[in-house]
Amino acid sequence: MHGRHTAFGTVGDKSLGKSGNFFHLHMVSDSTGETLMTVARAATVQYEDVQAIEHVYPLVRSQKQLDRVVGEIESAPGIVLYTLVDPDVAARLERVCLDLAVPCVNVLEPVFKIFQSYLNVAWTGRIGGQHALDADYFGRIDALNYTMLHDDGQVPGDLNEADVVLVGISRTSKTPTCIYLANRGIKAANIPMVPDIPLPPQLDEVTHPLVVGLVASAERIQQVRQNRVLALNAASYQNESYTDRRQIAHEVSSTRRLCAEKGWPLIDVTRRSIEETAAEIMALLRDHRAEEM
């Protein structure tokens, strides 16, 4: 078991030194630590000019594994968040934090209490139960395999097997959005809209999937495309229209017009994160499935 150290919201130690307004955040988990990181980052971003130096300790399931954690908390005191099922391991961590006068919180305890009170059943104390190799897990793997196989317009012949098909011009975050959806068990394909290249005819024949168009402002797409060209070191990039603002504006207009003609919902991703875009798509998908029933 090894702790992972990151400076969330910063770029290296230099930026921390400039602000000086940082704190140590220890996250101790008997599973992967993903729950703790999600909660901690959701809380941290609510405080301006405050940056957390993260210490992540996954798979802490014994007193011996806790020894290293205790040593690091003693050498760098700070807020301690944990999800530990073993009561003895959790109790020792609580005692250490009390002795050091640092805050220590079991982030799931209030949730467990509410569930137990409402459901009137005892909790099982399963470690990492959310990562069980059950039907949902293998469903997510199947969705991810489908999504990777159908990225960027590949294998259009079986688009009707998708749950969602995303349509949009280059740099509208189609691929990362599809991958996020696949991790939620949703089979997602994406079709690029390229000037002077027709969309695959199979797209007009689909009956099962929800088709969603993605757009962004011309300024945003131009910026992302220019960065893309620079990242690829494409100094001799011949297709100048790829980063031409007027051409991009025309592509955006074409996307909007096509979605209006087809009756496809359209999402502007200019100021949206991947997670926010995916959340709206999942809401649209629920409505779409309800209409199919």
Give the residue numbers of the binding site for ADP.
168-175
**Contact yes or no for 164/212 (Cβ under 8 A):** yes
Please name the residue that has the structure tokens 């790829």.
Answer: 242
Q: How far apart are CA 164 and CA 182, in angstroms?
A: 10
Q: How far apart are CA 182 and CA 200, in angstroms?
A: 22
**Contact yes or no for 82/105 (Cβ under 8 A):** yes
Strand residues in the chain grouped as ranges (E): 4-8, 22-29, 51-57, 79-83, 104-106, 164-168, 188-192, 210-215, 266-268
Q: How far apart are CA 105 and CA 103, in angstroms?
A: 7
List residues bridging with 106 in a β-sheet.
82
Say which residues have a Cβ less than 8 Å from residue 142's Cβ, sequence separation at least 6. 187
One-character DSSP codes across 98-124: HHHT--EEETTHHHHHHHHHHH-----
Give the annotated binding-site residues.
168-175
Q: How far apart are CA 210 and CA 265, in angstroms?
A: 9
Q: What is the CA radius of gyration of the chain?
A: 24
Collect contacts of 9-12 with beta carbons under 8 A, ≥24 apart. 9/44, 9/45, 9/51, 9/52, 10/51
